[in-house]
Amino acid sequence: MHMHAATPPVLLVVFNRPEQTRLTIEALLRERPARVYVSGDGPRAHVPTDAEQVAAVWAVIAAAPWQCEVVTNPFPENLGLARAVRGGLDWFFAAEERGVIVEDDVELGVGALALAAHLLDDGARDRRIGSISLFNTIGLDHVSEPAASYRRSMFSSSQGWGTYASAWQASPRTLRDWREWLPVAHLRALGGWAFASRWSDILDSDAHEQSATWDFTWQAALWAAGLDTLVANRNLVRNSGFTETATFSFGEPDWWPTAFEQWAEPLVRPTSPARDARADAWEGRQRYGVSSSAALRSSLARRVPGLASAYRARRYGA
């Protein structure tokens, strides 16, 4: 059995979309991962087609011409998106010290896992790095060092990302008490008043709704631990999941990247070890809606009964 030592292990998270899973596996096979772990939620009892579709997904996985070790973790019952993803990550990081995570609708570009190996290596040498991302939403004209292979960012991603067992295992499981472990003053120090206001709304909304997602909890956990993300400067992710069968994401947001790129050696490191403040400011505005006017509206909503629901945070790229 062929093992490609240069690439990291991958966790593939699946559910009930066999066609998207097939496309994701085709891209993975090209990238030749060291090992693949597959974790999948069970069918929902109230959805008549789920049992057949979930079985079809596992048939796709079984039939794939893998050239590496494959370990599977099918949940017998439906846990829901957040619990299933977290459960899969817990299982994965009980076995691996680091790795890359792709969901069933995420196709990796050529060279993505080779770059991920570099990013995980570089991040492991910096105690202030907790995550990597192969998903880039920002044009090179908004990046401070466009010739570099990657940048340092305050923002993580749930689209073709990676982390370390130590970071994942130390992260909180829920946002219900987020203000106890991530004070608003910490958010203000991280990004300023408008940033703290916007992200307080986003985290409060997820906590209030007892969200079925997990990615904002992970982002908050990174900030609470003082950890940044290494982000590819070219987008190496394509999402095939914007369909009527999606759990949340039925259409591409207006900030979604149109380019689907490749990466090749050599690795070019940024000359500055600091966060790319220019890129982060663009992403904060365009992807997450950080602005002074939004902060003022939010402040008014908190003070006037009945207005708060009008300013509930939208979901971005979940």
Residue 280 has pLDDT above 90, yes or no: yes
* pTM for the structure as a whole: 0.89
Task: Please state the rounded mean pLDDT for residues 148-170.
Answer: 97
Residue 17 has pLDDT above 90, yes or no: yes
Instruction: Dump pLDDT digits (tens) for 66-98.
Output: 999 999 999 999 999 999 999 999 999 999 999
Task: Please state the rounded mean pLDDT for residues 137-157.
Answer: 96
Instruction: Write out the E strands in the chain.
Output: 10-14, 35-40, 69-74, 98-103, 106-108, 129-133, 150-153, 161-164, 228-232, 237-239
C-alpha span between 101 and 21 (Å, rounded): 14
Picking from 99-103, 116-120, 184-188, 208-212, which range would have the lowest pLDDT averaged per residue?
208-212
Task: Please state the rounded mean pLDDT for residues 186-195.
Answer: 96
Residue 244 has pLDDT above 70, yes or no: no
Contact 229, 202 (CB under 8 A): no
Residue type at 79?
L
Q: Are strands 237-239 and 10-14 parallel, antiparallel or unpaired?
A: unpaired
- Amino acid 312: pLDDT: 45
Helix 18-31 and helix 112-124: axis angle, to 10°? Answer: 70
Instruction: Dump pLDDT digits (tens) for 38-47.
Output: 999 999 999 9
Instruction: Write out the E strands in 77-215.
Output: 98-103, 106-108, 129-133, 150-153, 161-164
Domain chopping of the chain, boundaries: 10-175+225-287, 177-210+289-318
Task: Please state the rounded mean pLDDT for residues 126-139.
Answer: 96
Instruction: Dump pLDDT digits (tens) for 247-267.
Output: 545 567 777 788 899 999 999
Residue 209 has pLDDT above 60, yes or no: yes
In the predicted model, what is the mean pLDDT of the chain?
Answer: 89
Nearest to 218 by CA among 313, 86, 109, 23: 86
Three-state secondary structure call for residue 283: helix
Residue 121 has pLDDT above 50, yes or no: yes
Domain 10-175+225-287 bears CATH identifier 3.90.550.10: yes
Q: Provide the pLDDT confidence category of residue 316 given band limits of 50, 70 and 90.
A: very low
User: Buried (b) or exposed (e) across 21-43, using 16+ Cβ within 10 A?
Assistant: bbbbbebbeebebbbbbbbbbbb
> Higher pLDDT residue, 138 or 299?
138
